[in-house]
Amino acid sequence: MGIGGFLPLDPGPPLGEGGAESVAQRWFGGGVRPHAFRNGRSALALGACAAFAPIGTLWLPGFACHALLDAALAARDRGYLAGVATYPLNEEQAPGPDTGFLAHHLAPGDAVLVIAYFGQPASAALYRLAEARRDVVWIEDRAQALWPGPPLGDAILYSPRKLLGVPDGGYCVVTPNGADRAQSLPPQPPSAIPARPWPALQRFEEEEANERWFPDYRRAEAGMRVEPGLPSRITGALLARQDIGAIAAARRANHAVLSALIPDGFHLLPASAPAWVPYGFPVLVPDAAATSARMAEAGIFCPVIWPDPVEPAGCERTRSLVGRVLLLPLDQRYGPGEMRLVASAFRSASGSGSAAPRAA
């Protein structure tokens, strides 16, 4: 069966009594305006960019997956923005925007997309810059973040498939800060029922049938486009049911186990227990693809973040990360026993410890 990989559908336990809060309540409550789309890239292009059009330049981090660039170019082609540019990362241990670069290069009417890397909140310096530059639209991409804290600026993007057991969906949430300048968006058409079951449903029904659901997952990922349409109804139902507090607690507990067992020299982020909710446990290795392959031999499946980012050449910090960041799984499916297997496999694969037992 293995550990890691994309999540199957997760109905979760009933929220029950005692004040449990669902993911949907946290993300879409409190006076925000959610707009639902088929996927995350559509939420950026047809949601945030359309809501705040016309935009001058949309600034993207150079350390990002190409799906973001594809979405930005689709928004440009639709006339929502004039151009796309990249900005460099800071030189701190935790990656984030170079606020000095942004402060110098931003023009009124531009927009900045900020990634909540690995679930982290934005830095205090970035919050100060966003507050000072109200002539710029600030879009926070939380595809890797269950809940990093209060919104940074005008819009938040959620893409829950990699965090939660849902089959699809991307959400653009216009925050109270951005509501006064966001335009109304047209309603999205319902999504057609797919001819074949979603890979997440296939995995839920046949967890060990990798030969069936994993190829479908790869095809579904490769086929994602910027297109109008609502997420499936089952996604909304699951988000309304999943207990965000329980999910956060499980992820933080698993992070604590890995933090204690992974040698300090591999930690990409500070080792202290995070107040935010971790996406995974990022480690910095000489060759992430080779380490990932050795981990897979032990039944542990870990993605490389990102093997081919948007702009590796323009930023020394991005160049130092390309091909070196491996994400160890710590999601809510697992507990301390699985985390010990992950840590043991990593120490073996990275040459920093003894051989690893194979995950069941």
Could you count the other beta carbons within 10 Å of the beta carbon of residue 203? 24
Q: Is the pLDDT of residue 62 over 50?
A: yes
What is the mean predicted confidence (pLDDT) over 118-146? 96
Report yes or no on 285 lying in a domain. yes
Report yes or no on 19 lying in a domain. no
Percent of the chain predicted with pLDDT > 90: 69
Report yes or no on 194 lying in a domain. no
What is the mean predicted confidence (pLDDT) over 151-165? 93
Summary mean pLDDT of the chain? 89
Mean pLDDT lowest for which of 104-118, 213-227, 300-314?
213-227
Residue 208, Ramachandran bin (φ over 0: left; ψ between -120 and 50: alpha; else beta) = alpha
**What CATH number is attached to the domain comprising 313?**
3.90.1150.10
Sign, CA dihedral 115-118-120-124, equals negative
What CA–CA distances, in Å, run from 166 to 163, 194, 212, 326?
A: 9, 15, 18, 23
Report yes or no on 121 lying in a domain. no
Report yes or no on 216 lying in a domain. no
The pLDDT value given to residue 57: 98
What CA–CA distances, in Å, run from 162 to 7, 250, 293?
A: 7, 16, 20
Report yes or no on 59 lying in a domain. no
Continuous H helices in the chain? 23-28, 40-42, 50-51, 66-77, 99-105, 124-132, 199-205, 210-222, 233-239, 244-261, 288-297, 316-321, 336-349
State the DSSP string of 294-312: HHHHTTEE--BS-SS-S-S
Report yes or no on 184 lying in a domain. no
First to last CA, the chain: 6
> Is-contact 87 110, C-beta < 8 A?
no
Whole-number Å distance between alpha carbons of 353 and 284 = 16
Q: Which residue has the tokens 């990634």?
A: 115
Looking at per-residue pLDDT, the higher value among 216 and 122 belongs to 122
What is the mean predicted confidence (pLDDT) over 120-134? 96
What is the mean predicted confidence (pLDDT) over 151-168? 92
Sign, CA dihedral 259-332-124-116, equals positive
Whole-number Å distance between alpha carbons of 10 and 27 = 18
HSE value, Cβ hemisphere, 13 Å, CA-based, for 89: 26
Q: Is the pLDDT of residue 358 over 50?
A: no
Q: How many domains does the chain have?
A: 1
What is the mean predicted confidence (pLDDT) over 52-74? 96
Q: Is the pLDDT of residue 225 over 90?
A: no
Range of the domain at 322: 244-349
For the chain, state the CA radius of gyration. Answer: 20
HSE value, Cβ hemisphere, 13 Å, CA-based, for 357: 7
Q: What are the residues whose beta carbons fall under 8 Å from the beta carbon of 161, sequence distance 6 or more? A: 6, 7, 39, 167, 168, 169, 200
Whole-number Å distance between alpha carbons of 20 and 54 = 40
Coil vs helix vs strand at 78? coil
Q: Is the pLDDT of residue 100 over 90?
A: yes
Report yes or no on 344 lying in a domain. yes
> Is-contact 247 146, C-beta < 8 A?
yes
> Is-contact 226 45, C-beta < 8 A?
yes
- Residue 328 has phi, psi (to 5 degrees) of -80, 135
